[in-house]
Amino acid sequence: MELKIERDSDIESWMEVTLVYNSALKQISTKLEILNDEFQHVHRYNPIEHIKSRIKTSESIVKKLRRHGYESTIQNMVQYVNDIAGIRVICSFTSDIYRIADMIRNQSDIRVISIKDYIVNPKPSGYKSYHMLVTVPVYLSDRIIDAKVEIQIRTVAMDFWASLEHKIHYKFEGNAPAHIKNELIDCARMVAELDAKMLSLNEEVRNIDQRKD
Ligand code: GTP
Ligand code: MG
């Protein structure tokens, strides 16, 4: 399985695509770091625990195009694969997720294309996360390109769950035994309960701090 690279100009465009998506990831990461620093300065608190970013491998891009019935061309991947550039923002509390999403929305050069709130509407697997598909302008020497980036925002607990679920999903090629799927759904419920308890505990302690100030 390979991307159709027939001419030198195709190699050139593939390299350009990678460069553009890498630049887009750098821009969004920097924006998030700045927002986190500013938040720390103003509120003495970091909403972001850590950030992970990745460029999708050409193999997974081709697989995805096939799955959706598209030919493996560079034009198709740019048009139809929305998560070539992906960034994952991990935070402590569910309230941080919406705070971070708002901060991203408020950046004047970021355009939000779509939102999927799998916290309000979890997937049947039990998966929870807040997804934003955005574009960010990448300034090249002679033009500006709007690059798509998929941003996933989730708590540490949701991330822990998603990592294990992903590993299990991969191991059983999507057909995990029913009892394992059910255990995962049960774990997702516990994760939600844990997130809610930790949030209310944190709020309570913060209120005590504020009264002392
Ligand atoms: P793909 O799932 O990427 O084909 O696109 P989509 O349009 O369905 O996007 P969606 O927002 O549903 O999911 C995109 C990404 O979210 C995936 O690539 C995963 O990283 C993550 N994700 C979605 N569902 C699950 C899930 O059930 N378990 C885990 N572990 N991750 C998930
Ligand atoms: Mg999906």
| C-beta of 162 in contact with ligand 1 (< 6 A) | yes
Q: Which ligand is nearest to the CA of 116?
A: 1
Mean pLDDT (the chain) is 93
Arithmetic mean of pLDDT, 187-210? 93
Arithmetic mean of pLDDT, 45-63? 93
The confidence band for 178, taking pLDDT boundaries of 50, 70 and 90, is very high
Q: How far is the CA of 83 from the centre of ligand 1 (A)?
A: 10
Is residue 27 pLDDT above 60, yes or no?
yes
Q: Which of 166, 167, 175, 180 should be mutated for ligand 1, with most atoms under 8 A from CB?
A: 166
Closest protein CA for atom 4 of ligand 1: 64
| C-beta of 159 in contact with ligand 1 (< 6 A) | no
Q: Read out DSSP for the chain?
A: ------SHHHHHHHHHHHHHHHHHHHHHHHHHHHHHHHHHHHHS--SEEEEEEEE--HHHHHHHHHHTT----HHHHHHH-TTSEEEEEEESSHHHHHHHHHHHHT-TT-EEEEEEETTTS--TT----EEEEEEEEEE-SS-EEEEEEEEEEEEHHHHHHHHHHHHHHHHTTT---HHHHHHHHHHHHHHHHHHHHHHHHHHHHHHHHHHH-
Arithmetic mean of pLDDT, 164-192? 96
Instruction: Map out the domains of the chain with their CATH numbers.
Output: 8-157 (3.30.460.10)
Does pTM surpass 0.90?
yes
| C-beta of 111 in contact with ligand 1 (< 6 A) | no
Is residue 1 pLDDT above 50, yes or no?
no
What pLDDT shows up at residue 120? 96
Ligand 1 closest atom vs CA 162: 30
Higher pLDDT, 212 or 130: 130
The confidence band for 208, taking pLDDT boundaries of 50, 70 and 90, is confident
Is residue 180 pLDDT above 70, yes or no?
yes
The confidence band for 36, taking pLDDT boundaries of 50, 70 and 90, is very high
Higher pLDDT, 8 or 39: 39
The confidence band for 4, taking pLDDT boundaries of 50, 70 and 90, is low
Q: Which ligand is nearest to the CA of 123?
A: 1
| C-beta of 116 in contact with ligand 1 (< 6 A) | yes
- pLDDT cut 70: percent of the chain above it: 96
Q: Which ligand is nearest to the CA of 52?
A: 1
Arithmetic mean of pLDDT, 73-94? 96
Higher pLDDT, 41 or 6: 41
Is residue 3 pLDDT above 70, yes or no?
no
Arithmetic mean of pLDDT, 110-121? 98
Give this complex's ipTM.
Answer: 0.93
Q: How far is the CA of 123 from the centre of ligand 2 (A)?
A: 9
Is residue 44 pLDDT above 90, yes or no?
no
Q: How far is the CA of 184 from the centre of ligand 1 (A)?
A: 16
Arithmetic mean of pLDDT, 191-207? 95
